[in-house]
């Protein structure tokens, strides 16, 4: 029963008691154990697992494949369309040149007035053009013309209508002749030079 022996045994018992106490306190059925278990569970909880559906995966794969194949085709078509558009729309064009192009379709098919080009100057420098490449109308019947174009003082197209549709807003579908050119003029900001008020509207020996 030496002091050293007693101290050793007491320390051993105390250490064992502490270990057992901690073990009991941290067991799953203890209050502390339950708190720790709940805290760990909360820390490991996955709030939302966004796994893509089979359909979403297939859609993504299809989109990638389609874009890879379609993009070059679309780019090529757009380039061709732009070339066509720029070819139709010079930086500026004279009204007499537009009239010449309108009459071309009628050359050799008869004589007399075949197209309509009516120039109507308005206040503040703007001008209305009434055009029809298919028929000749008198000035009093200007609203029967297929095309009407408002030219601003600087020669730019402020407004244009063809077949009762706004050229500036555009629409789906191909166009031909003057309608196609007007679309291009509006899109590219072509300046129309009003070089003549009374352009030639006849063909043949008239």
pLDDT per position as a tens digit, 106-151: 888 778 899 999 999 988 889 999 999 999 999 999 999 999 999 9
In this predicted model, which residue has the larger pLDDT, 165 or 95? Answer: 95
Residues of the chain above pLDDT 90, percent: 27
Confidence of residue 38 (pLDDT cuts 50, 70, 90): confident
Task: Answer with the residue of higher pLDDT: 205 or 156.
Answer: 156
My answer on whether 102 and 40 are in the same domain is: no
Q: Is residue 58 situated within a structural domain?
A: no
Q: How many CB atoms lie within 10 A of CB 90?
A: 13
Residues 97 and 196 in one domain: yes
The pLDDT mean for the chain works out to 82
Assign residue 173 a region (left: φ > 0; alpha: ψ between -120 and 50; beta: otherwise).
left
pLDDT score at 206? 47
Specify whether 94 is located in the same domain as 21. Answer: no
Residue numbers of the domain that contains 8: 3-44
Domains: count for the chain: 2
Q: Is residue 24 part of a domain?
A: yes
Looking from the CA of 74 toward its CB, the CA atoms found within 13 Å total: 6
Give CA separation, 102 vs 29, 60, 112, 114, 156, in Å: 97, 51, 14, 9, 20
Q: Are 126 and 39 in the same domain?
A: no
Is the confidence at residue 88, as pLDDT, over 50? yes
End-to-end Cα distance, the chain: 147
What average pLDDT does this structure show over 149-157?
A: 92
> 114 and 15 in one domain?
no
């Amino acid at each position: 029963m030496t002091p050293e022996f007693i101290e050793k045994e007491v320390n051993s018992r105390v250490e064992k008691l502490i270990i057992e106490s901690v073990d009991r306190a941290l067991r799953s059925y203890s209050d502390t154990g339950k708190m720790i278990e709940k805290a760990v569970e909360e820390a490991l909880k996955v709030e939302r697992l966004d796994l893509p559906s089979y359909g979403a995966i297939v859609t993504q794969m299809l989109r990638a494949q389609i874009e890879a194949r379609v993009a070059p085709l679309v780019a090529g078509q757009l380039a061709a369309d732009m070339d066509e558009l720029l070819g139709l729309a010079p930086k500026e064009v004279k009204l007499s040149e537009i009239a010449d192009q309108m009459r071309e379709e009628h050359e050799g098919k008869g004589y007399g007035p075949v197209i309509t080009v009516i120039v109507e100057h308005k206040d503040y420098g703007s001008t209305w053009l009434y055009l029809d490449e298919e028929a000749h109308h008198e000035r009093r019947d200007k609203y029967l013309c297929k095309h009407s174009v408002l030219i601003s003082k600087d020669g730019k197209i402020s407004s244009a209508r063809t077949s009762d549709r706004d050229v500036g807003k555009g629409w789906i579908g191909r166009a031909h002749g003057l309608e196609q050119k007007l679309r291009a003029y509006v899109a590219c900001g072509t300046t129309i030079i009003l070089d003549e008020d009374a352009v030639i509207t006849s063909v043949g020996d008239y």
